[in-house]
Amino acid sequence: MATTFDLISPDFLTITRNNEWHLDAFNVPNELYNVQVWDTGVIYFSPKNNASEQEQAFVFSSAIHGNETAPIEICTDIINGLVSNTLAIKHPVLFIYGNPAAINIGERFVEENLNRLFSGRHTKADPESNAALPFENKECERAAKLEEYVTRFFELHPQAERTHYDLHTAIRDSAHEKFAVYPFIHGKPWKKQQFEILRAMGVTTFLLMEKAATTFSYYSSNEHKANSFTVELGKVRPFGENDQTKFAAAKQTLINLLKGTNFDGESFDATNYQIMTVFREINKTDESFELSFADNVANFTEFKKGQELAKEKGEAIVANEDGEAIVFPNAHVAIGQRALLTVLPTDISNNLV
């Protein structure tokens, strides 16, 4: 790696946006940290003087969807503080801007939803030879690279507890403004400490997934046994239109984690949280699919049994239970992809550590 930029002017986000799909790796001179840029949108920091204290290793990702700007701004502020040595941390961290090309056009993705391409979904095999086929598009190639970088990072810190927060904002408003998706953990217990960390960010609503997925957070959880979450911090807005006061707690909590602040899981109180589990996953199977409620209906809005949620091929899809609530409705997904989740409250008291 050759030393080139100082990442102050222009900053790392600007350099990333100027190199949408690739950037040759380089080192960044810094008194406090080993700083390495591994690719466009991928930057690694490790404190030089306290390697023995690095008991945790963090991945903070944003811009897996390019139009979700608030998490990009949060990560940019932290990166700039580290580069300028105005922020002192104890633990190593890998920052990822997932889809720079999508950032530049202000869209969720360019050709394919990056957050549906992990855990091997980015690569397809020839049906006859089983040999890997060329990547279908650049987002598939990017997903494969991001998996490699997360693997490299955790291998650099083999004894550290692993954590990955994949930061997002949602397409529509939510009855619970901030919420987190806890990937399927295959029967292992949920962690009180993680609930408390996310509560410090302002997140008190959790959606527990019940099957494997192709999301970035599930990849880190399943492949690397990381404490991993998709963290929804509010609603999608363009750069410059985010109310930074709404994200201050989230940003400060991320900084506190890097500084070594300990969060005590023993203070966990179930009454502080709204914990839900997936009841149904409704996939789009035909171009006729349409939602039966307005665009301004918020995530976690509850429906009564029998109320219509969507239509497809002229047939109504209705709520099966009273209180069935909607999450992530999107009629514009590709055929075969999830267009809507419905959720119900759940009790996890018998499987907590």
Paired residues of 206 in beta bridges: 180, 275
Q: Reply yes or no on whether 232 is catalytic.
A: yes
**Residue 10, preceding peptide bond in cis (omega within 30° of 0):** yes
Assess contact for 302 and 325: CB atoms under 8 A: yes
Average pLDDT over residues 81-95: 96
Candidates 112, 196, 232, 324; catalytic one: 232
Per-residue pLDDT of 172-231, as tens digits, reads 778 788 999 999 999 999 999 999 999 999 999 999 999 999 999 999 999 999 999 999
CA distance 8 to 34: 16
* 42 vs 9: which has the higher pLDDT: 42
Q: What is the pLDDT of residue 42?
A: 98
| Cα end-to-end distance, the chain, whole Å | 42
Paired residues of 344 in beta bridges: 277
The share of the chain scoring above pLDDT 70, in percent, equals 97
What lies within 8 Å, CB to CB, of 150 at 6+ separation is 59, 94, 96, 164, 219, 220, 224
Reported pTM? 0.92
Among 17, 20, 42, 19, which Cα is nearest to 28's? 42
Task: Give the pairing type, strands 179-182 and 26-28.
Answer: unpaired
CA distance 273 to 291: 29
Average pLDDT over residues 71-76: 98
Per-residue pLDDT of 231-266, as tens digits, reads 999 999 999 999 999 999 999 999 999 999 999 899
- Which pair of structure tokens corresponds to residue 315? 């047939």
Per-residue pLDDT of 101-148, as tens digits, reads 999 999 999 999 999 999 989 998 777 777 888 999 999 999 999 999
Q: What is the pLDDT of residue 2?
A: 40
